[in-house]
Amino acid sequence: MDYISTRGSAPAVGAAEAILTGLAPDGGLYVPASLPGVDFASLRGCTYPQIAFAVLRGFLPEYEDDFLQGILAQTYGDAFGGKAGHLVQLDEDLFSLELWHGPTCAFKDYALQLLPRLIAQARRFRGEVDTTRILVATSGDTGTAALNGFADREGTDICVFYPVDGTSEIQRLQMVTQEGGNINVFAVRGNFDDAQRGVKAAFSDAGLARNLAGQGVRLSSANSINWGRLVPQIVYYATSYLHLWEQGILRYGDKLDFCVPTGNFGDILAGYYAKALGLPIGRLLCASNKNNVLADFLETGRYSAKRSFFKTSSPSMDILVSSNLERLLYHAAGSHEAVCGWMAQLAETGEYTVDAHTLSAIRATFRAGWADENAVYDEIRHMHNQYGYLCDPHTAVAFRVWQQQPGHATRPTVVLSTASPFKFPGHVLSALGRPIPKNEFDALRALEDHSGVAAPASLAGLAQKPVRFNATLLPEDIPAITLTL
């Protein structure tokens, strides 16, 4: 199967090449040129790795079946404690898909535990002898999940840059205590955008690329524009549907809705591909926090990043330019020229408006809503009082947006729960009206005591792990430091 760029002026490539390069050379994103068929109804009773294999094999034809089956069993077995795709019923028609039972307690583990294995094999296909050096700018979850996924993977090393005051203490400790001989972590003075700018400068520095090549190093990216980040996320939409069918909650063919807390539009776009493959999905509900640029776009067709940026309790959704939306625009409009036009307008003026045909193609599947900070805290409290269910602020955004939809309780819906509540114990305690201890580990224990739920061991144990990385640098030092690792 070929992958083509959304912008239409880069050569088509195979899956392995798309995964190894990340961004297409014309600045677009790789999308599959056609979609493989998946017979979902035949997968009743299958395990998570088996369903993953049925979904992924058509998208990754160069990867041999044995190899794929092997890495899928390794990835979604022990590392997820037998809880890959774990679904919890809260009400007759309401389910929470808990995607945080992986090693770093956020949904990004689904892709970032698999991606290093796909990259390692892509290197073999290409006969790559150079080291693949992964650079990541992160506001928290991506860096943590990427470090864990790439630690001690042959042929690769990874360097993560996080804003010095931009992450929670737990997220910071997850990064700076990560073990592995091929990893590096730096705090960057400034905010996430400063760190991101430094990393982008490294990627676009031709002199640096030459120097790195002299050392046998080639840079690559693990952020969510990489097709290898997106494709593993299709699987849990399918496992959710099949599970509800097996439980007799659905008959095969009944429509199932999903509500997704959204930032860069990768997770929800995987649901769009699941539907395009033939899974009986009804609506995909895109949930935003106070940074509601996507909610406005999906309602009106006008995308405007010219607005204030808010720091919220759901930091992984604090984003004004959602990169993966470009893929949806391409599929909905069916035109490279249209996508190039909108992306050029976005770069020049900070906004664009799609035509009526494209908007109605999008709205055939998508609905949207958003929740401000009061509503999020309210919802954390409501979920706890009503269902005895503890949820993190990202997940609470989604529950709230689901509640706001007219007729929401009449359609079975799966809400994607993207992070463990114990990653954000201060916000959760505060929403529940409890005092917040200063130290985050005291907060974690207070939340355990209050809720009667045990925190994931990988978070509770962080306080005892030695800190390995404590260097801080300026954003402009990022390109140079990538040479000296």
Ligand X SMILES: *Cc1c(COP(=O)(O)O)cnc(C)c1O
Q: Partners of 368 in the beta sheet?
A: 286
Residue 422's alpha-carbon distances to 31, 86, 294, 366, 446, in angstroms, are: 35, 17, 27, 30, 10
Q: Which is nearer to ligand X, 163 or 263 (CB)?
A: 263
Q: How far apart are CA 306 and CA 425, in angstroms?
A: 32
What totals of helices (H) and strands (E) does the chain contain, helices first? 22, 15
Which one of the listed residues 108, 275, 290, 423 is annotated catalytic? 108
CB 257 within 8 A of CB 285: yes
Which residue ranges make up the site for ligand X (CB under 6 A)?
106, 108, 141, 224, 261-267, 316-317, 394, 418-419
Q: Which is nearer to ligand X, 276 or 485 (CB)?
A: 276
Please, what's the b/e burial string for 175-207 (b: 16 or more CB within 10 A of its CB; e: otherwise)?
bbbbeeebbbbbbbebbbebbbbbbeebbebee
C-beta of 269: minimal distance to ligand X in Å? 8
Q: Which is nearer to ligand X, 183 or 294 (CB)?
A: 294
C-beta of 400: minimal distance to ligand X in Å? 14
Q: How far apart are CA 46 and CA 37, in angstroms?
A: 18
Strands 183-188, 472-473: pairing is parallel
Q: How far apart are CA 299 and CA 295, in angstroms?
A: 6
Q: How far apart are CA 24 and CA 28, in angstroms?
A: 5
- Count other C-beta atoms under 10 Å from residue 364's C-beta: 10
Residue of 301, 354, 329, 255 lying closest to 31 (CA atoms): 329
Q: Which is nearer to ligand X, 283 or 394 (CB)?
A: 394
C-beta of 416: minimal distance to ligand X in Å? 8
Q: Which is nearer to ligand X, 109 or 157 (CB)?
A: 109
C-beta of 262: minimal distance to ligand X in Å? 4
Q: Which is nearer to ligand X, 167 or 418 (CB)?
A: 418
- Count other C-beta atoms under 10 Å from residue 385's C-beta: 10
C-beta of 463: minimal distance to ligand X in Å? 22
Q: Partners of 415 in the beta sheet?
A: 96, 259
Q: Is 290 a catalytic residue?
A: no
Residue 95's alpha-carbon distances to 241, 272, 351, 388, in angstroms, are: 11, 19, 36, 14
Q: Which is nearer to ligand X, 7 or 394 (CB)?
A: 394
C-beta of 361: minimal distance to ligand X in Å? 20
Q: Report the amino acid identity of residue 418.
A: T
C-beta of 466: minimal distance to ligand X in Å? 26
C-beta of 286: minimal distance to ligand X in Å? 9
**CA geometry: angle at 319 spanning 314 and 322, to 5°?**
125
Residue of 249, 245, 261, 273 lying closest to 411 (CA atoms): 249
Q: Which is nearer to ligand X, 68 or 134 (CB)?
A: 134
Active site residues: 108
